Amino acid sequence: MLLLPPGSKAAGAKLYWQKWLPDGNPKALILLIHGYAEHSGRYQYFAEHCLDKGYGVYAVDHWGHGQSDGTPGFVPDFSVYHDGVEQLLARAKQDFPELPVVLVGHSMGGLISATYLLSRQSEFAAAVLSGPAVKAAEEPSAFLKAISGFLARFFPKLGVLELDPNGVSRDPDVVADYLADPLVYNGKMGARLAAEMLRNMTLVQQNAEQISLPLLMLHGEKDSLAAAEGSSFLDAHISSTDKMLKIYPELFHEIFNEPEKDQVLNDMTDWLDTCLAAARE
């Protein structure tokens, strides 16, 4: 378990984490930052692909997710997720201090990653954002934004948003497994977390030009849970000279769990291989 440090808004909380390592020495490490309501255990196939390509993978269950402490659907402050990334990064660097580290974030994990990069991008050789929640699938009205702030303050755990699991993947087996997984949260998102996500989406949009490290953005065009426009926005506004945007026309939200997942994963590791090779020259 990782322990959130003093100063965290969830100080003392225990976070479950795991790592996958190839048989030989890894050439780089991937810090995997999962999405809302899910957990790191859903990324076994992702990890196996990365291992075959020579990458080690470190992953944490966010506070309130999976096997970690916390309340599902709620977060006291978005910075608690950053604290978890910080502890995972420290553990990875403790194990392999000389290896380059890549940040890979999916969905809400993409938002966590993007906001973390605003202050800590120097820690990473590159980053990959998969279906990042940078823009909402439906832009909330001014009234909804105003009422969300009120609810977040006075009724922070009140359920205000429910995600449609059918938007996860076109593969019915993936959706069935998602719904049957006891570590996946299927309740409503609380008002505080919803407000924190909206606030951090705005933060990324207003400060995207501060991101300058090599960045790969991957998104399904038919993503109904996180708008593909968010990835397009990042591509247009970040300062990175080494960047790539790939939008897959038919894919839903979880592009690493779509029928075309092997293509997506190969696109990711091929880009990382090229990026890391260029950095070594």
Residues carrying an active site annotation: 107, 223, 253
Contact 268, 216 (CB under 8 A): yes
Contact 163, 225 (CB under 8 A): yes
Distance of alpha carbon 62 from alpha carbon 76, whole angstroms? 13
Structure tokens at 191: 């008002």
- Residue 137's CB: how many other CB atoms inside 10 A? 17
Q: How does strand 55-60 pair with strand 28-33?
A: parallel
Classify 191 as helix, strand or coil: helix
Sign of CA dihedral 181, 187, 190, 196: positive
Distance of alpha carbon 13 from alpha carbon 130, whole angstroms? 27
Distance of alpha carbon 86 from alpha carbon 267, whole angstroms? 27
Distance of alpha carbon 64 from alpha carbon 73, whole angstroms? 7
Distance of alpha carbon 134 from alpha carbon 107, whole angstroms? 8
